[in-house]
């Protein structure tokens, strides 16, 4: 087995986000756009790296200028890109993101399919996964083949390597033809997962309830030993095998753009828990105080993310918190 040279290996999409130059401008009315790196796993890896921990990303980009931009940007952020391959024919995905006057988002995707959606089993090298203490995944790669089969292979490799497995489903309904299929496949993945973070607006699709406490219990029943349900400005709740249940308030900030808030939360959570994982502590053994402190730190990171345009623009560095 390889040495644990990474705190977190993230698996999944990396794309280019284009935002209108100002809040409240629709895509139809925009004359100019600002380019950002995007994709939840890539945002997560960037957040972990900015918080002083070692992160890698496993995905594909196109053999095009957007792919070169993403690889360069990730590398500049300190993300290990040795598992970021180049697809020979598919293009790098792009997304146009409009932000309303209140900071809420709408998306227009150009991925038909994009390179990140064509990750296959051959691209999943277990040696890359074995380098990480934590393997992190999301549900988008389960929505279609061949990346669905690649996800199952990656999860099996992570379990075999003894990684802590983390998931933020980051549900994108437009990727799924059937919500029941989404629920079944995400549930299968969560049965192999140790830590799951889910936003309250995803609960009904994944576990059939809108109630955060009931949803956390239902998620724990699927297999994870630590569940966190985020509730936007209202903070989060947690439910853990040893930690029990708890609730933390959110931090009040002036919201500009909610893009990437969940990614920032998970980056903060895993960065805060990294020292415990280095000591060999498993998520099932984390106590209430340790989980509450990690969630409070994650809330602080997420609050910073929403204060600027772009998923990664306001991701803080540890010395800024």
Active site includes 263?
yes
Rounded CA-CA distance 291/245 in Å is 10
In the 8-state DSSP scheme, what is residue 316? P
Q: Which domains does the chain have, with CATH numbers?
A: 6-315 (3.40.1190.20)
Name the catalytic one among 80, 194, 239, 263: 263
Start-to-end CA distance of the chain, whole Å, equals: 35
- At a CB cut-off of 8 Å and minimum separation 6, what does 188 contact? none
Q: Which residue carries 């705190």 as its tokens?
A: 7
Rounded CA-CA distance 243/12 in Å is 29
pLDDT in tens for each of the 321 residues of the chain? 568 999 999 999 999 999 998 889 999 999 999 999 999 999 999 999 999 999 999 999 999 999 999 999 999 999 999 999 999 999 999 999 888 888 777 889 998 899 999 999 999 999 999 999 999 999 999 999 999 999 999 999 999 999 999 999 999 888 899 999 999 999 999 999 999 999 999 999 999 999 999 999 999 999 999 999 999 999 999 999 999 999 999 999 988 888 899 999 999 999 999 999 999 999 999 999 999 999 999 999 999 999 987 778 889 998 888
What is the CB neighbour count within 10 angstroms for residue 288? 14
What is the CB neighbour count within 10 angstroms for residue 141? 25
Query: What would the two tokens of residue 128 be?
Result: 């890359």
- Interior/surface letters 7-17, b for 16+ CB within 10 angstroms, e for the rest: bbbbbbbbbbb
Tell me how far the alpha carbon of residue 277 is from its chain's centroid.
Answer: 19
Strands 94-99 and 80-87, bridge-based pairing? unpaired
pTM, whole model, 2 decimals? 0.96
Rounded CA-CA distance 306/19 in Å is 14
The alpha-carbon radius of gyration of the chain (Å, integer) is: 18
Rounded CA-CA distance 297/301 in Å is 6
Contact assessment for residue 252 and residue 238, using Cβ atoms and an 8 Å cutoff: no
SS3 state at 31: coil
Say how many CA atoms lie within 13 Å of 315 toward its Cβ.
Answer: 31
Q: Which residue carries 């997962």 as its tokens?
A: 193
Contact assessment for residue 268 and residue 225, using Cβ atoms and an 8 Å cutoff: no
SS3 state at 203: helix
Query: What would the two tokens of residue 105 be?
Result: 């988002």
- At a CB cut-off of 8 Å and minimum separation 6, what does 112 contact? none
Contact assessment for residue 103 and residue 120, using Cβ atoms and an 8 Å cutoff: no
CA dihedral 163, 168, 173, 177 (to 10 degrees): 20
- Residue 2: its pLDDT value, please? 64
SS3 state at 246: strand
| Helix and strand totals (H; E) in the chain | 9, 13
């Amino acid at each position: 087995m390889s040495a644990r040279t990474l705190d977190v290996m993230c698996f999944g999409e990396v794309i280019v986000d284009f935002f209108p130059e100002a809040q409240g401008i629709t895509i139809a009315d925009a004359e100019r756009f600002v380019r950002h790196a995007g994709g939840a796993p890539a945002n997560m890896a960037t957040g972990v790296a900015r918080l002083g921990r070692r992160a890698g990303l496993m995905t594909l980009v196109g053999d095009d200028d957007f792919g070169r931009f993403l690889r360069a940007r990730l590398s500049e952020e300190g993300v290990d890109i040795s598992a970021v391959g180049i697809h020979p024919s598919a293009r790098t995905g792009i997304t146009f993101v409009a932000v309303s006057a209140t900071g809420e988002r709408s998306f227009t995707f150009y991925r038909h399919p994009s390179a990140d959606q064509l990750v296959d089993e051959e691209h999943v090298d277990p040696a890359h996964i074995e380098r990480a203490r934590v393997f992190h995944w999301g549900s988008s790669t389960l929505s279609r083949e061949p990346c669905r089969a690649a996800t199952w292979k990656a999860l099996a490799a992570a379990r075999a390597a003894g990684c802590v497995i983390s998931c933020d489903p980051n549900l994108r309904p437009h990727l799924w033809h059937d919500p029941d299929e989404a629920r079944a496949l995400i549930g299968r993945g969560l049965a192999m997962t140790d830590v799951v973070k889910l936003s309250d607006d995803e609960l009904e699709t994944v576990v059939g309830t809108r109630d955060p406490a009931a949803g956390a219990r239902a998620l724990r029943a699927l297999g994870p030993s630590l569940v966190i349900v985020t509730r936007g400005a209202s903070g989060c709740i947690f439910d853990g095998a040893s930690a029990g249940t708890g609730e933390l308030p959110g931090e009040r900030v002036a919201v500009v753009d909610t893009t990437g808030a969940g990614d920032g939360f998970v980056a903060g959570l895993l960065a805060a828990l990294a020292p415990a994982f280095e000591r060999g502590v498993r998520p099932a053994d984390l106590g209430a105080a340790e989980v509450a402190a990690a969630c409070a730190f994650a809330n602080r990171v997420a609050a910073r993310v929403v204060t600027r345009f772009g998923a990664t623009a306001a991701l803080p560095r540890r010395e800024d918190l």
